[in-house]
């Protein structure tokens, strides 16, 4: 395994023992958020070449840039315009900023996630 906290292959997450204890409930949830995102992407990928399709999508959208780079993500960024690795990093950044109580970063990420339909804008009163 490489030096990543975890890798996702199709709908399986393989964790790196150097990052996690046996009891994952004691692990920072932000570390696994990108991998949970990849499982979701795999499940809902529109093409049947899912693993290759996800990788190809990231390469195509990045055109030579770091596929994990989200430094240019801002409130005008549309979630569905990001590569799959960037989408996973945005979800991880959102979870991490929520855990740290960083509301300005969390708010920015939530706007991006809302653009992809991942967080509802407002819960209607009848849904309370």
Please choose, from the candidates 87, 113, 117, the residue with its C-alpha nearest in 3D space to the C-alpha of residue 98: 113
The total number of structural domains that make up the chain = 1
The answer as to whether 17 is a domain residue is yes
The answer as to whether 105 is a domain residue is yes
The answer as to whether 108 is a domain residue is yes
Which residue range(s) make up the domain with 54? Answer: 6-127
- Predicted local confidence at residue 83, as pLDDT: 85
Distance between CA atoms of 13 and 121, rounded to whole angstroms?
Answer: 30
The answer as to whether 117 is a domain residue is yes
- Predicted local confidence at residue 89, as pLDDT: 92
The answer as to whether 23 is a domain residue is yes
The answer as to whether 38 is a domain residue is yes
Residue spans of the chain under pLDDT 70: 1-3, 21-22, 24, 27, 45-65, 120-128
Angle formed by the axes of helices 29-44 and 50-62, to 10°?
110
User: pTM for the whole thing?
Assistant: 0.74
The answer as to whether 1 is a domain residue is no
The answer as to whether 43 is a domain residue is yes
- Predicted local confidence at residue 2, as pLDDT: 57
């Amino acid at each position: 395994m490489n030096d990543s906290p975890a890798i996702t292959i199709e709908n399986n997450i393989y964790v790196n023992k150097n990052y996690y204890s046996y009891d994952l409930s004691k692990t920072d949830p932000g570390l696994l958020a990108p991998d949970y995102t990849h499982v979701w992407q795999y499940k809902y990928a529109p093409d049947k070449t899912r693993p290759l399709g996800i990788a190809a999508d990231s390469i195509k959208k990045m055109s030579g840039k770091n596929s994990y780079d989200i430094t240019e993500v801002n409130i005008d960024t549309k979630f569905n315009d990001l590569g799959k690795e960037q989408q996973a990093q945005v979800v991880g950044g959102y979870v991490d900023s929520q855990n740290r109580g960083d509301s300005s970063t969390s708010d920015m990420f939530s706007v991006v996630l809302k653009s992809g339909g991942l967080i509802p804008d407002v819960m209607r009163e009848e849904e309370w």
